Amino acid sequence: MSTHNKINVAVIGATGYTGLDLILMLSKHPRVSIQNLCATKNLGKKITFFDKRIKKNLPPISSVNKINWNNLDLVFLSLPDGEAQKLIKSRFLTNKKLKFIDLSADFRIKNPEIYKKFYKIKHEAKSFIKDSLYSIPEFNRNEIKKFRIISNPGCYSTSIQIPLIPLIKNNAIKNYDITIDSKSGYSGAGKNIKKKFAHKNLYSSIYAYNTKNHRHICEIDQQIFRFTKKKINFSFNPYLLPTFRGILTSIYFYSKNGCSGKFLRNCLIKFFKKSKFIRILNLNTQLGSGNILNTNYCEISICETRIKNKFIIFSALDNLIKGASGQAIQNMNIMFKFPEDLGLR
């Protein structure tokens, strides 16, 4: 187990975009010792073969069978949906101190029937859902230490929930007729993007997809209800952009009881006053994803429109970091009582 004030970690699913960003940050983290990097292909290769940014001498790619589970404190799972649940099920009881951070959707949805409906996969580890916490740290810092399985949220969902939940909690916006547009870099689709998207000029065009039933809708519904006890009526339109990383989300809504833009902005400032990674910009600030690339920050701007009481929230984050690996490290830091921003500055 952990030695010299460091925790021993393994990354399973090491060679995808998210896995590589995760390893890059973990390799620089002063309280982490990487014991295993696992994948199903390219066994024996060095991680630097996949990512020249990683400078540290790390263990070569190995199969999961090579892991000494009793030597680990934490496992990061960056796997296709359906795979993490099987692995956690097989290992949860063998080492009672071992913790897991799952970057797939396997433990995001509390109701296994809803998971099956959206992901077309039967949940193989239902009995362990109760041991998991869906965690955007800004909303549940105090709960993280109590759980052995942390479910890392989806990237779109993170960019949407961070600005919306505080405003809904404050009863500041109308809960219906909300339109959400999210535009993501193509890394969000993973390395198998060409199997998922066959449209023309993939890397030089904008593409709208999956308007009716995007998978992240069920987790947004679930988490908004969990924190606000309200159901909101929204449509969600995702787009793929010809840029590698970054998300810009636009949320169109009406304020309630004539709440001004200044009031809405102050709600967010108050809610996130202890959150190092949330930046609330001045009212009516133009916003893109440029400032947040390769960081764990989420930038938010509230803008007035020409229509009375109608506003747009712009929310920008890096889908591979605050939307995935950076948020996972933020969760890890809280889990092991490290400073929340350690290794993420």
Known catalytic membership, residue 267: no
Q: In Å, what is the CA distance from 61 to each residue of 14, 90, 192?
A: 8, 21, 20
Q: Where is 11: in which H helix or E strand?
A: strand 7-12
- CA 189 to chain CA centroid, Å, is 14
| Sheet-wide strand order for 61-62 | 61-62, 32-38, 7-12, 74-77, 99-102, 149-151, 132-134
Q: How many CB atoms lie within 10 A of CB 290?
A: 10
Q: How many CB atoms lie within 10 A of CB 209?
A: 13
> Which of these is catalytic: 155, 259, 267, 298?
155
Q: Give CA torsion, residues 288, 293, 299, 303, to 10 deg.
A: 0
Hey, which residues does 101 pair with through a beta bridge? 76, 150
Residue from 202, 173, 200 nearest 186 by CA: 202
Residue from 232, 233, 181, 231 nearest 210 by CA: 181
Q: Which residues are catalytic?
A: 155
